[in-house]
Structure 1
Amino acid sequence: MSTIERITITLTAEMAQAVRGAVQAGEYASSSEIIREALRDWRHKRALQEQELGELRAQVQEGLADIAAGRLRDFDAERIIRKGEQQLAARDACA
């Protein structure tokens, strides 16, 4: 089990009230439990962002390799925009 370390955080009044409200409503046992869940969610989100960034980097490298090998297509901005919109919609649907 991990060692527990106590730290102090500062929240806006609105955030602090939301935390207190969730504890008072019985949704969480303590404010620490809320913060731990928020940090788990944050770490998960960062991991997904890193994965997406890695995939984009791989696609850029693939594109550069295609250019170097002479495998090119005509530039079609509309196609690129449509593909980007589709990828964003798919990502948002999963979130």
Structure 2
Amino acid sequence: MEISGIISAIVIGVVIGTLGRLVLPGRQRIGVLWTIAVGIAAAFVGTAVAAALGVADTRGVDWIEWLIQIALAAVGVAALERLRARA
């Protein structure tokens, strides 16, 4: 992976993490860095899932891939919130 790919993954991860956090009801008590980390992970995993489903490379905007990534980010933020609430 080239440096431009890594930078774009980080930027997309920030957006995905933020959107994943916004779709959850209530307040999440995790930090910004955790949100970014979850977003980056969700972006990578969501891209792999979309590729496995055959919807990663479509014409125009890949809406299905975005929805998969946002859903994974929401699940990740919720899971991290629950883990941190137990500690």
TM-score (norm 1): 0.33
Indicate the structure (1 or 2) with the bigger Cα radius of gyration: 1
TM (normalized to structure 2)? 0.35
